[in-house]
A and B are shown apart, each in its own frame.
Chain A
């Protein structure tokens, strides 16, 4: 009996197990504290290496090119651009979603990196690469300093 034919777990003796640690806590770190505090205040912050002239989003505390320290942070422009997008119809376990979710990589001019987030207030047939978008934040009182403080990005109305 070949083991790859065992579909019914009752036909071979198995020991149940797990690989779970209870929980994790992740510190945000030097650049992360600045970035997520920025979100809480409704701002998207990037960091700039003066020596190399590179601006990073999300911000880094060091330059990946020269390894120098970075301590200059500034807000990215108001206008983001959809670099690519996709529509999710099935979740990670294979279950069909009631409604599709639009995911996009959003970039800013002159910035290395970008933000992956949802798109909202847009129909599927209106989507296109190059679409200009802006963030929609939660109400200030509800923000927690998390990436989900941004609800989604929406097209900028001309």
Chain B
């Protein structure tokens, strides 16, 4: 891939905020965005008046149940009377909003950016999953009553078949992440469960079972990004965003390699090249990869070249991806444990890498001394990879 990226400013992350993640929160979407933004500003030692522009991210409007949600959110997200941009790439939105914040600063357009992502999935009835019915091709797919979980079940099955992966090994991801989430103050589904619990849970769409899948959640997250000049005024411990990448595979999911996420391979390559990373498996110390399903953590590790094809389940079984392992994956507890308010979950992942690299993750702090981390999300019609590489 050829890239011709010149940027003016190195971009730092200097603050993060997160609301609780819960199945149904009392606050309105605007109030959730405000809570997260306020926390991030306080964490950075800033006030709203110090912010040059605001980037906001949320996934399909149909979850919150408010069309054109960008304009609805403006005051809550802190965007009133400021240049305000909403970005949207489905499930990839959380990390993509950080990428959009990055380019505002990297380009020299703004020095201090507030990035906010919010999702309130609970308003949609009878179940938020129903919203996904309307993202498919209305002529070929929708008349079949297609559901998102089906498609993932087809992908999961193909991945298991291609690399001869057992469900027991995939279930280990759910066990690890829900356990990690016990230490996350915002977490919705931290739990001590066993592989047997996963294998005995209700079969939704085989091979996807209840405990293979992340929950429905409400929540919001926010980050403060600044240029190098301002980062040094506000903090002694900035975390640099040294690489960003995003890439879309074909919309025809029938035409994709379901056993290997190429969208992420290319997105990762873009971010690695920008960050000067040649061997991701050796150079990335800790990663938050997108795990709405347990098999997706494995799938995405391979797409990011953090494991060879078919190797991620083996690394998981050997404990390499635990917090005290050589390559901790999802020390936060991930979407499976902390929860999945779609766009906010992506910010949660970037925030976790921010805290891990600043050694502020408390009980979740990984055993090794991490200097380079990665956060990733996945979305649109299961076709986009969004990646940021961060360093101290």
Residues of A within 8 A of B (CB): 15, 17, 19, 21-32, 60-62, 64-67, 69
Contacts and interface: CB of A to CB of B under 8 A. Distances in A.
A136 to B, nearest CB: 28
B27 to A, nearest CB: 5
B31 A62 contact: yes
B31 A67 contact: no
A132 to B, nearest CB: 29
Given A17-B138, A24-B124, A28-B28, A66 B34 contact: no
A61 B143 contact: no
A55 B125 CA distance: 35
Interface of B: 24-28, 30-31, 34, 37-38, 41, 47-49, 62, 65, 75-76, 78, 80, 122-126, 130-131, 134, 138-139, 142-143
B139 A24 contact: no
Given A15-B138, A21-B62, A67 B34 contact: yes
B143 A15 contact: yes
Contacts of B26: 27, 29-30
Contacts of A67: 34, 37-38, 41, 47-48, 78
Q: Lowest 10 CB-CB distances: which A-B pairs, in order?
A: A29-B28, A24-B65, A64-B75, A67-B48, A23-B125, A24-B123, A64-B80, A62-B34, A17-B138, A21-B124
A69 B31 CA distance: 10
Nearest to B29: A29
A111 to B, nearest CB: 16
A61 B31 contact: yes
B112 to A, nearest CB: 14
Contacts of A61: 27, 31, 34
Contact of A21 (B30, B31, B48, B131): B131
A19 B38 CA distance: 35
B130 A29 contact: no
A24 B34 contact: no
B123 A26 contact: yes
Nearest to B62: A21
B125 A25 contact: yes
Nearest to B26: A27
Nearest to B124: A21
Given A21-B134, A22-B126, 19 more contacts: A15-B138, A17-B138, A21-B130, A24-B124, A24-B125, A27-B24, A27-B25, A27-B28, A28-B28, A30-B26, A31-B31, A32-B28, A60-B75, A61-B27, A62-B76, A64-B80, A66-B48, A67-B37, A67-B47
A62 B38 contact: yes
B31 to A, nearest CB: 5
A21 to B, nearest CB: 5
Nearest to B35: A62
Given A19-B134, A62-B76, A67-B47, A25 B37 contact: no
A21 B63 CA distance: 9
Contacts of B27: 27, 29-30, 61
A66 B47 CA distance: 7
13 contacts: A15-B143, A17-B138, A19-B134, A21-B65, A21-B131, A22-B124, A23-B125, A24-B65, A26-B65, A30-B26, A30-B31, A64-B80, A67-B38
A12 B81 CA distance: 48
A29 B25 CA distance: 9
B49 A66 contact: yes
A13 to B, nearest CB: 10
A25 B130 CA distance: 14
Nearest to B126: A22
Contacts of B125: 21-25
Nearest to A18: B134
A65 B80 contact: yes
A50 B37 CA distance: 20
A1 B24 CA distance: 51
A30 B124 CA distance: 20
A19 to B, nearest CB: 5
Nearest to B133: A21
Nearest to A62: B34
Contacts of B41: 67
Contacts of A24: 65, 123-125
Contacts of B24: 27
Contacts of A17: 138, 142
A53 to B, nearest CB: 16
Contacts of B37: 67
B74 to A, nearest CB: 8
Contacts of B34: 61-62, 67
A98 to B, nearest CB: 30
Given A15-B138, A23-B125, A62-B38, A29 B48 contact: no
Contacts of A22: 124-126, 130
Contacts of B76: 62
A152 to B, nearest CB: 26
A65 B81 CA distance: 9
Nearest to B134: A19
